[in-house]
Amino acid sequence: MKPIQVGLLGIGTVGGGTFTVLLRNQEEIQRRAGRAIRITMVADLDTARAKAIVGDSAQVVNDARQVIANPEIDIVVELIGGYGIARTLVLEAIAAGKHVVTANKALLAVHGTEIFAAAHAKGVVVAFEAAVAGGIPIIKALREGLTANRIEWIAGIINGTTNFILSEMRAKGLDFDTVLKEAQRLGYAEADPTFDIEGVDAAHKATIMSAIAFGVPVQFDKAHVEGITKLQAADIRYAEQLGYRIKLLGVTKRRLDAGAAGGIELRVHPTLIPATRLIANVEGAMNAVVVHGDAVGTTLYYGKGAGAEPTASAVIADLVDITRLHTADPDHRVPYLAFQPGAMQDTPILPMDAVLTSFYLRLRVADEAGVLARITGILAEHGISIDALLQREPGEGEKQTDVIILTHDTLEGGMNQAIAQMQALPTVLAPIVRIRKEELK
């Protein structure tokens, strides 16, 4: 049987890894796919580098449209990244009747609805396992392995850079800026790490998982996004004393109590997690995703979320899937977002004021009688109950101290009002630190 011919757009880290793994494991991959898969054409602006990687095994060009226009190419793999030219090329490949594999989470989180609609209309596949959590097969788990379940929530450590930074801050007691520089030196953080440390990368991935889990369109613009740049070593230390660890989590939940139609929480932010949870012990640049379904309960998916070969593993898995489905009836393929196109819902993404979670609060207060009573009184006025409280003894000669409060679940809107009232107290001497907390039971 004639091999499936693949055109590769971009042969950087992931593209090079994809070529290498596909070549190294070609016999095993062919046994699984039922026919050979060959990268026969590569487009990259740096043609010299591309030729050094592929040798004589593939044609190298500097124009991606030559790959798309080639009638012999069955599948186009987009590994360029970004929102701009990548969107244009993916839509052009679809219009040309090519199946598409992409690792581009930013593209799908922002333009996924348009891209999936175009692919459905043309009867081609857009596969994107590599777009979320690198080598962890979380997309396949959500779309297929857990298809019998009503997904209730997902929480994931889905950015290795931020997890490395938080792990180092906790283990070594260092501040954020110091660890960021070390992460850049070691290659875990880019020269411009904004998308990682501000939570944007994780929000792209959480948006895609939320759409698959709940059968809604991708809606990155509705996500609440907070990064880790304001986290202080003191809060990581206090969290540890209280039996928690702080991780940057992407969280999406189905909420049935939020109005007649219900609602979906979609948020990325630093989060306290009990240290006894498996996901709290995911360290370094590793990723992990916890999914809770009504039938299966809680499941955990763990592994490398980035890197040449882990991500290549996911890209090639998509190539194998498309190869298996190459002659299948388009109407009976696995839908891109798990639900059939006509069965998508318009369940709204909830605003942060309507999010229900618990909180860690750190208040720098004057060491005076009655301060704690006023603070707890304000929380009580807003119906916020206290789960745990830690009051640090002031040092010798100090006239101020830290009060740490863990709350039970409450609406974010009520907590915002309570914090505003507490901040206005003359005995509260610094901006109140607020970090959300998830038990992940």
Please list the active-site residues.
205
**β pairing state of 400-407 and 386-391:** antiparallel
Closest listed residue to residue 381, CA positions, set 349, 346, 422, 344: 422
Positive or negative torsion for Cα 388, 256, 225, 416: negative
User: What is the distance between the alpha carbons of residues 366 and 322, in angstroms, rounded to a whole number?
Assistant: 64
Nearest one of 311, 274, 294 to 81, comparing CA atoms: 311
Nearest to 127 by CA among 36, 32, 208: 208
- What DSSP line would sit under 381-410, residue for residue? HTTPPEEEEEEPPPPTT--EEEEEEEE-SE
Cβ-contact 11, 79 below 8 angstroms: yes
CB atoms within 10 A of CB 434: 17
The tokens for 100 are 């598409």
Q: Which amino acid is at 195?
A: F
Q: Three-class SS of residue 38?
A: strand
| DSSP structural state of residue 82 | S
User: Residue 215, class by beta-carbon neighbours within 10 Å (0-12 exposed, 13-18 middle, 19+ buried)?
Assistant: middle
Other CB atoms within a 10 A radius of the CB of residue 424 amount to: 9
**Bridge-based pairing state of the strands 126-127 and 286-293:** unpaired
With beta carbons less than 8 A apart as the criterion, state whether 201 and 250 touch.
Answer: no
